[in-house]
Copies of this chain bind each other. A is one copy, B any other.
């Protein structure tokens, strides 16, 4: 039976949940393409690197992380190299990129992805940075290498927002995208409406595990800017980067603003928007006062939604309710199935 070999950069919650799906559902990709799925490499920043061209034991990998928080340096498959070394040595067909992202420069994800293309691998990434900043360059490199470049989980986790626009709105043209794309800041705005201070709201989000230790990427809009740029580049054929976006923080939203909006039946939401105007692309991430009839005003907590305005299909919204790690892992898994289908 033909074999498809995967390797991973990063093995945090998403990577482990994805491996759980793979172990759980191994029969399914097999049914689609008659291929056996093997994992031949896993490289991490702090847990070590494992390589075995004949296939690592997934259950054993998961068990080591579970028990010791890292791979066992005494294991026969343990290696001293990092991601780049693993890409060179593990002989995989598919590179699954799940590293922690710097939104500022989209690294190290972008460099790893380019290295994977050079080594003849398909790429699946959960990172929005590469699509937000270098989509046209990376998709060109993928095409030159004759490889797939997939990233469904980069925006809205498992909700098929890229696939829907690309596979289902064929023959149509999206001219505007609006979304609530950052769960942390949306949760914080919900809390402000409950008379909780910004500081306490952020602390609450951190306790719930939905905000980083440094919440500024979320609260100040840069995570949203990366996501709306990724959507605009992929779906609208734009060629934008987060630096081109008008980005306002929600730090400036006061209790008075919230009360005043509430009295008028409005809600303040952190709206990411991309719109084609006179041939130019206008990108913004700003707190906006939305009327109750606007469906984006109804997105609560860590849910997310995106409305696409298309020339023929009209105005279509896709919403994901309270996503968790399983949904992000499904986004990666769904990319693997897309890849298997395309390989035929």
Question: Which residues in A have some Cβ–Cβ distance to B below 8 Å?
Answer: 21, 25, 28-29, 157-160, 163-164, 167-172, 293, 295, 298, 300, 305, 307, 312-324, 326-327, 329-330, 333-334, 337-338, 341
Contact of A314 among B169, B170, B317, B321 (CB under 8 A): B321
Contact of A334 among B163, B170, B314 (CB under 8 A): B170
Query: In the bound complex, do residue B334 and residue A21 qualify as a contact, i.e. CB atoms below 8 Å apart?
Result: no
A170→B21 CA distance, assembly (Å): 13
Give A337 Cβ to nearest chain B Cβ, in Å: 5
Q: What 6 A-B pairs have minimum CB-CB distances, sorted nearest first?
A: A160-B168, A312-B330, A315-B321, A163-B168, A317-B319, A158-B313
Report if A160-B295 is in contact (Cβ < 8 Å); known contacts: A25-B171, A170-B337, A334-B171: no
A159 surroundings in chain B (CB, below 8 A):
313, 316
A317→B329 CA distance, assembly (Å): 19
Query: In the bound complex, do residue B319 and residue A314 qualify as a contact, i.e. CB atoms below 8 Å apart?
Result: no
- Closest B residue by C-beta to A326: B312
A6→B225 CA distance, assembly (Å): 45
- Closest B residue by C-beta to A299: B295
Give A268 Cβ to nearest chain B Cβ, in Å: 17
A341 surroundings in chain B (CB, below 8 A):
170
Contact of A320 among B169, B172, B316 (CB under 8 A): B316
A285→B322 CA distance, assembly (Å): 26
A337→B321 CA distance, assembly (Å): 31
- Closest B residue by C-beta to A167: B167
- Closest B residue by C-beta to A172: B330
- Closest B residue by C-beta to A21: B312
A322 surroundings in chain B (CB, below 8 A):
314-315
Of the A-B pairs whose beta carbons lie under 8 Å apart in the complex, a sample of 19, sorted by A's number, is A25-B171, A157-B314, A160-B169, A160-B316, A163-B164, A164-B168, A170-B334, A170-B337, A171-B337, A172-B334, A295-B321, A305-B317, A312-B333, A313-B330, A314-B321, A315-B320, A316-B321, A317-B321, A318-B319
Report if A163-B167 is in contact (Cβ < 8 Å); known contacts: A293-B300, A312-B21, A330-B172: yes
A112→B169 CA distance, assembly (Å): 28
Query: In the bound complex, do residue B314 and residue A323 qualify as a contact, i.e. CB atoms below 8 Å apart?
Result: yes
A160 surroundings in chain B (CB, below 8 A):
164, 168-169, 313, 316
Using A158-B313, A167-B167, A295-B321 as known contacts, list a sample of 9 further A-B pairs with CB atoms less than 8 Å apart, ordered by residue number in A. A160-B313, A163-B164, A164-B164, A168-B334, A171-B333, A171-B337, A312-B329, A312-B330, A317-B319
Query: In the bound complex, do residue B318 and residue A318 qualify as a contact, i.e. CB atoms below 8 Å apart?
Result: yes
Query: In the bound complex, do residue A313 and residue B337 qualify as a contact, i.e. CB atoms below 8 Å apart?
Result: no
- Closest B residue by C-beta to A29: B171
- Closest B residue by C-beta to A309: B321
A333 surroundings in chain B (CB, below 8 A):
171, 312
Give A241 Cβ to nearest chain B Cβ, in Å: 27
Contact of A318 among B171, B312, B317 (CB under 8 A): B317
- Closest B residue by C-beta to A317: B319
A170→B331 CA distance, assembly (Å): 10
Query: In the bound complex, do residue B295 and residue A312 qualify as a contact, i.e. CB atoms below 8 Å apart?
Result: no
A322→B307 CA distance, assembly (Å): 13
A164 surroundings in chain B (CB, below 8 A):
160, 163-164, 168
A170 surroundings in chain B (CB, below 8 A):
334, 337-338, 341
